[in-house]
């Protein structure tokens, strides 16, 4: 089966993470702590990288926040991005403090400041993300387009890119996020036809966990499946670790990220020979039991005889449940019958035989 | 902004729900109760339709389940689908019991039985879904394709369609679900080039809530954005009402379903002037307060001065939070400053002014 064919873009480097030019699609998030609370912010950075976040952004609204970044820098090797608005001097301070990338919305920084910032970026190998959001497009552009449109977003982003290019920045990543998935999809499609700069995908203000997850998965899924996107961020109101988990799940679903255990379990129906709650419980227990494993592995837990054996056979470890017992499959072959009370243990035993704990 | 351009398909009717031919994309789910427990199953059918489910499927594994369907039929006007495997006589019984559609995997029903079933379907205006799953493809097809492939799925589905066509069924919906999103996407794309039968989209065994939601949203999102799909089902291990909510959210995200309140809230960052928990709490309180409203309405709750006012202005009711206060916007216009303790009430008051309770 052919995988996603990605569009080729220029490459930029953010500390040890490559963006664009065929590099693996990286997952980003943003700390939600007050950056001036350096201990809390560092703790969140560490939780994010532990969860698989490749690049962490921090808001730098003032000098204290920039100083906090310098302290955090000493305690982590994570790729850190400083989010800068209005005051270019905070960008200079952030670079001094060890930021690996700067995110700006160039429209809100005066051109003279952009020049100084560009010089510091070049001197330090720091790329710039031109980050346009539907909520902060210049009034002039909005009025010329008769309001918020795909064309207004694209023009705003290209104008921003020109501003930082003119100021002397060479390594540029672009984002142009709207709150509407369809508008965001169309804007990224259009800009990807107009530039070979790497693209940072996201939806702005995507909302509460369920609807935000769905909206982000649809938007990023459509773009990524079309080969567009070099780095992604899922925005959710809530714990940023959830943003990383959702982002990774989006990439995995399209074969754009390897690794981790995939648990396939049936939705259960009136045909299920053990209860819904019981099957969901088994799936959750297995999920907890394998949470530390980074090797790619597929586990299927199926509640019936219609699709069960077929799916169980396609997995690395599969269980097809019949009445009170289950048939265990390992890499396509039925290996033994298992009693219901042994289901979880039997699956985890086989998993551990395939991925010994030291390799997990 | 142009919406999704849908591919034209033939139309079938399932009770009062049209599938294909440009009809609104319907949302399906399946009861997870033992169908023989008729009270519990009816209760679940009612919860599903209340949540916005257009078509509810029930497993009919035996005669008792078919009798239960007859009783349920008397208590609801919902469009009901009988899921039939192996024994075509259960299909006949289900039609007698008032099923509005039959789902079969034709490979597991003998041709003579299919003929009888087809005659009953035609006589009663009951369409058939040919539902192929990656876990139940005939061994002969699998071995000819060297295992599970996109081509094997498509061939299996087309073979199933031919079987029911040859048996005399005229109204046919097709599904061909795999567990892998990319395989599922490619299979539906291929079959939509080969047939104009309406397509039922889904991923089989899509798993636990978070990863299942992401995998379904990516798969269905990619297909729907490409104009493919006439009816959808999200499969999740857990409460089927969640399947409906996710399905509706997928459709709404692409402008394929109107109605309901959309709450946009910012992910919050170090720039947020009220705490993350507080903003998430406000968003949740507002979400609860508007849960009964079916009219389309957009509410934005934004925690900062960077994107806040812009987003708040794009919503029907918007709040841009500053330090301790917020600026309330109604349909693009700032209307007044609000104290932090009045945030939820102020938003709900404006919502109720736009959508009076009796219209909700």
Question: Tell me, what's the pLDDT at B260?
Answer: 75
Chain pair A-B, CB pairs under 8 angstroms: 275
Tell me what percent of chain B is helix, strand and coil, each rounded to the nearest 5.
45, 20, 35
Distance, in angstroms, between B168 CA and closest chain A CA?
Answer: 25
- Whether chain A has a CB inside 8 Å of the CB on B177: the answer is no
Which range is most confident: A186-200, A296-310, B240-254, B340-354?
A: A186-200
Q: Tell me which chain A residues have a C-beta less than 8 angstroms from the C-beta of B183.
A: 1
Mean pLDDT of A303-311: 74
Question: Tell me, what's the pLDDT at B135?
Answer: 84
pLDDT, averaged across chain B = 91
Determine whether the interchain pair A32/B269 forms a contact, defined as Cβ–Cβ distance below 8 Å.
yes
Give yes or no for residue A281 having a pLDDT over 90: no
Give yes or no for residue A359 having a pLDDT over 70: no
Distance, in angstroms, between B264 CA and closest chain A CA?
Answer: 5
Q: Tell me which chain B residues have a C-beta less than 8 angstroms from the C-beta of A183.
A: 1
Distance, in angstroms, between A254 CA and closest chain B CA?
Answer: 6
Q: Is B25 exposed, middle or buried (0-12, 13-18, 19+ CB in 10 A)?
A: buried
Q: Tell me which chain A residues have a C-beta less than 8 angstroms from the C-beta of B59.
A: 269-271
Mean pLDDT of B47-53: 93
Determine whether the interchain pair A31/B270 forms a contact, defined as Cβ–Cβ distance below 8 Å.
yes
What are the b/e assignments for A141-172, b being 16+ CB within 10 Å?
bbeebeebbbbbbbbbbbbbbebbbebebebb
Quote the CA–CA distance of B309 and B332 in Å, as a whole number: 9
Mean pLDDT of A15-44: 97
Q: What is the 3-state secondary structure (H, E, C) of chain B?
A: CCCCCCCCCCCEEECCEEECCCCCCEEEEECCCCCCCHHHHHHHHHHHHHCCCCEEEEECCCHHHHHHHHHHHHHCCCEEEEEECCCHHHHHHHHHCCCCEEEECHHHCCHHHHHHHHHHHHHHCCCEEEEEEHHHCCHHHHHHCCCCCHHHHHHHHHHHHHHHHHHCCCCEEEEEECCCHHHHHHHHHHHHHHCCCCEEECCCCCCCHHHHHHHHHHHHHHHHHCCCCCEEECCCCCCHHHHHHHHHHHHHHCCCCCCCEEEEECCCCCCCCCCHHHHHHHHHHHHHHCCCCCCCEEEEEECCCCCHHHHHHHCCEEEEECCCEEEEEECCEEEEEEEHHHHHHHHHHHHHHHCCHHHC
How confident is the model over A137-176, as pLDDT tens digits?
A: 999 999 999 999 999 999 999 999 999 999 999 999 999 9
Q: Tell me which chain B residues have a C-beta less than 8 angstroms from the C-beta of A267.
A: 30, 32, 205-206, 235-237, 240, 243
Give yes or no for residue B265 having a pLDDT over 60: yes
Determine whether the interchain pair A235/B266 forms a contact, defined as Cβ–Cβ distance below 8 Å.
yes
- Whether chain B has a CB inside 8 Å of the CB on A40: the answer is no
A 293-312 residues with CB < 8 A to B: 300, 302, 306-311
Q: Tell me which chain B residues have a C-beta less than 8 angstroms from the C-beta of A236.
A: 267
- Whether chain A has a CB inside 8 Å of the CB on B26: the answer is no
Distance, in angstroms, between A170 CA and closest chain B CA?
Answer: 26
Quote the CA–CA distance of A120 and A64 in Å, as a whole number: 20
B 199-228 residues with CB < 8 A to A: 204-208, 210-211, 213-215, 217-222, 225
Determine whether the interchain pair A30/B267 forms a contact, defined as Cβ–Cβ distance below 8 Å.
yes
Determine whether the interchain pair B267/A4 forms a contact, defined as Cβ–Cβ distance below 8 Å.
no
Question: What kind and span of H or E run contains A172?
Answer: strand A172-177
Give yes or no for residue B359 having a pLDDT over 60: no
How confident is the model over B235-252, as pLDDT tens digits?
A: 998 889 999 999 999 999
Which of A37-41, A176-180, A243-247, A323-327 is predicted with the least confidence, judged by mean pLDDT?
A323-327
Written as six digits, the tokens of B245 are 């909510």
**Share of residues in chain A with pLDDT > 90 (%):** 68
Written as six digits, the tokens of B338 are 């609000």
Question: Tell me, what's the pLDDT at A153?
Answer: 96
How confident is the model over B16-40, as pLDDT tens digits?
A: 999 999 999 999 999 999 999 999 9
Quote the CA–CA distance of B293 and B262 in Å, as a whole number: 10
Question: What kind and span of H or E run contains A57?
Answer: strand A55-59
Quickly tell me which residue has 């609801």 as its tokens: B76
Residue-range domains of chain A with CATH: 12-253 (3.20.20.20), 261-359 (3.30.413.10)
Question: Tell me, what's the pLDDT at B237?
Answer: 83
- Whether chain A has a CB inside 8 Å of the CB on B345: the answer is no
Task: List phi, psi (to 5°) of A200.
Answer: -100, 115
Mean pLDDT of B145-159: 96
Note whether A15 and A81 are within 8 A (CB): no
Quote the CA–CA distance of A137 and A59 in Å, as a whole number: 20
pLDDT band, residue A276 (cuts 50/70/90): low
How confident is the model over B327-336, as pLDDT tens digits?
A: 899 998 999 9
Quote the CA–CA distance of B260 and A207 in Å, as a whole number: 15
Q: Is B284 helix (H, G, I), strand (E, B) or coil?
A: helix
Question: Tell me, what's the pLDDT at A357?
Answer: 67
- Whether chain A has a CB inside 8 Å of the CB on B21: the answer is no
- Whether chain A has a CB inside 8 Å of the CB on B33: the answer is yes
How confident is the model over B84-118, as pLDDT tens digits?
A: 999 999 999 999 999 999 999 888 888 889 999 99
Question: What kind and span of H or E run contains B301?
Answer: strand B297-302
pTM of the model as a whole = 0.87
Distance, in angstroms, between B121 CA and closest chain A CA?
Answer: 23
Note whether B5 and B224 are within 8 A (CB): no
Neighbours of B16 (CB within 10 A): 10
How confident is the model over A45-61, as pLDDT tens digits?
A: 999 999 899 999 999 99
- Whether chain A has a CB inside 8 Å of the CB on B279: the answer is yes
Question: Tell me, what's the pLDDT at A360?
Answer: 43
Tell which phi-psi region holds residue A331, choosing left (phi > 0), alpha (psi between -120 and 50) or beta. Answer: left
Give yes or no for residue B323 having a pLDDT over 80: no
Q: Tell me which chain A residues have a C-beta less than 8 angstroms from the C-beta of B149.
A: 1
């Amino acid at each position: 089966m052919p995988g996603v064919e990605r569009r080729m873009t220029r490459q930029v480097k953010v500390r040890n993470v490559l963006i664009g030019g065929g590099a693996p699609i990286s997952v980003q998030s943003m700390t939600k702590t007050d950056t001036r609370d350096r201990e809390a912010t560092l703790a969140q950075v560490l939780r994010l990288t532990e969860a698989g976040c490749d690049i962490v952004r921090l808001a730098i609204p003032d000098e204290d926040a920039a100083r906090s970044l310098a302290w955090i820098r000493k305690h982590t090797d994570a790729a850190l991005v400083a989010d800068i608005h209005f005051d270019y001097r905070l960008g200079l301070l952030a670079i001094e403090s060890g930021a690996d990338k700067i995110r700006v919305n160039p429209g809100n920084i005066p051109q003279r400041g952009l020049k100084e910032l560009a010089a510091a970026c070049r001197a330090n190998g720091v790329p710039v993300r031109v980050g346009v959001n539907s909520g902060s497009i210049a009034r002039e552009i909005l009025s010329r387009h008769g309001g918020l449109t795909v064309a207004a977003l694209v023009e705003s982003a290209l104008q921003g890119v020109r501003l930082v290019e003119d100021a002397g920045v060479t390594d540029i990543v672009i984002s142009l996020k709207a709150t509407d998935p369809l508008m965001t999809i169309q804007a990224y499609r259009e800009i990807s036809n107009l530039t070979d700069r790497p693209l940072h995908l996201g939806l702005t203000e995507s909302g509460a966990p369920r609807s935000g997850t769905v909206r982000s998965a649809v938007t990023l899924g459509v773009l990524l499946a079309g080969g567009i996107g070099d780095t992604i961020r899922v925005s959710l109101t809530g714990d940023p670790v959830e943003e990383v988990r959702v982002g990774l799940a989006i990439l995995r679903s399209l074969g754009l990220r390897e690794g981790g255990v995939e648990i396939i379990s049936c939705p259960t129906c009136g045909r299920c020979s053990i209860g819904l709650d019981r099957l969901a419980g088994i799936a959750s227990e297995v999920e907890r039991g394998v949470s530390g494993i980074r090797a790619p592995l597929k586990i299927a837990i199926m509640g019936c005889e219609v699709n069960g054996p077929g799916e169980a056979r396609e997995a690395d470890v599969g269980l097809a449940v019949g009445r009170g017992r289950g048939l265990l499959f390992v890499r396509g072959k039925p290996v033994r019958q298992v009693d219901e009370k042994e289901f979880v243990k039997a699956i985890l035993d086989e998993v551990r035989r395939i991925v010994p704990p030291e390799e997990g």
